[in-house]
Amino acid sequence: MPGFEIFGEEEKKEIMDVLDTGVLFRYEFGEQRKGIYKVKEFEEKFAHYCNSSFGQAVTSGSTALKVALTALGIGPGDEVITQGFTFVATWEAILEVGAIPVFCEVDSTLNMDPADLLKKITQKTKCIIPVHMLGAPARIKEIVAIADKNQIPVLEDTAQAAGARIDGKHLGSFGRCGTFSFDSVKTMTTGEGGMIITDDEELWKSMSEYHDHGHDHKVNPGARGGEGRRFIGFNYRMMELQGAIGLAQLAKLNGIVAAQQKNKAQLKEAVSAIPGVSFRTLIDEQGDSATFLTFTLQDRQHCSKVNDSLKADGCGAINFAENSWHFYPKWEHLLEAKSPVRTGYPFNEPGGKKRIVYDPKALPQSAALLERTLVYPIPIKMDSNRLAVMSQALQKASLI
């Protein structure tokens, strides 16, 4: 699945363009850089690829979420609804801006359940973050319709679904903005790095300024350091080497998705031999980025027995109900309100009063689904020998 599988001469050339200038910083040094602005070019080409108007590159998918939430004006006193099956960064970003995460069930898409979303909306809800988990879309059209009816902006967490679409429209482009991750195990990678896309120019301007200490980036006689500032910001800038790698990887993204779709189809055929198996609901199978194959067994015991057999043959799958990074009941630091801050913030008010208390059993629908679900990451390159080994292991597991 990760883009590092196909690092090659294209990435090297883009990197050497930067090293030949000696400029790693994304701004300024106009004479020295010889017209080479890799991050700016990456932003423009990624936005164009997604049929969006603006792209804002940042240091990670995690900071993309924080920058986007801040630009949307989300802060203390606000609630943000997201799903209980996601990477921890989604709700970490919500806490980072001072808002309170509210967790929603997932349905057979393994993404946000619109029915449960309706139950979770309150007067304090100021943003909704559906997550396109494991490379496939949430019911984003339904979610946006609900959000629009309640005048709440949608921020799409598309960290794991670069290149995925619904009816040809890119995930990340349905809401007010969409965030992406390019870390070391993503479909396309820059090692670390992230992107936000939007059609809203004013929102993009705020993101652009906030991610660079509030600098307005207007041409001015003072050059760097002479900019004005509308508000405070922080440093979440992507550097030129990351932008360079991103350009090379973006040019390969359609090919990456096509290869993953082919490999996934072959592996799915082998998994289909297991009695009683079912597969996650795909809103648009042709638009699936195919970064993961997800299959659900009859019950928790069946799931455990199948995976034990697969592990014995060196082909174990991921059970996210046991994973401490991605599923609500396993986030002990959230559930137990662990904080390095003296006052206990963000879980406590300065005086010690609790702000947030989470029930580990709050998402029974998600738990019942994920405890019997197994996942295989899909590589870009999968040789026939490995496929044969996995097929044989799955055939053996089907007899359990």
Tokens representing 188 are: 């396309």
66, 186, 252, 264: which is the annotated catalytic residue?
A: 186
Catalytic, 330? Answer: no
Nearest to 52 by CA among 146, 159, 165, 133: 165
Number of Cβ within a 10 Å radius of residue 310: 20
Please choose, from the candidates 231, 204, 201, 203, the residue with its C-alpha nearest in 3D space to the C-alpha of residue 215: 231
- Alpha carbon 198 to its chain's center: 16
Could you give the CA distance from residue 273 to residue 37 in angstroms, rounded to a whole number? 51
Tell me 358's DSSP state. -
Of 46, 37, 38, 26, the closest CA to residue 195 belongs to 46
Strand order in the sheet with 194-198: 54-58, 194-198, 177-181, 155-157
Residue with tokens 């991103």: 246
Supply φ then ψ for residue 78, to 5 degrees. Answer: -100, 155
Kindly give the pairing relationship between strand 79-83 and strand 194-198.
unpaired
DSSP reduced 3-state for 87: coil
Contacts of 232 (CB under 8 A, 6+ apart): 213, 214
Query: Residue 91: how many CA atoms within 13 Å on its side-chain side?
Result: 26
What burial letters (b/e) apply to 247-268, b meaning 16+ CB within 10 Å? bbbbebbeebbebbbebbeebb
- Cβ-based neighbours of 37, under 8 Å, separated by 6 or more: 26, 240
Q: Which residues participate in catalysis according to the annotation?
A: 186
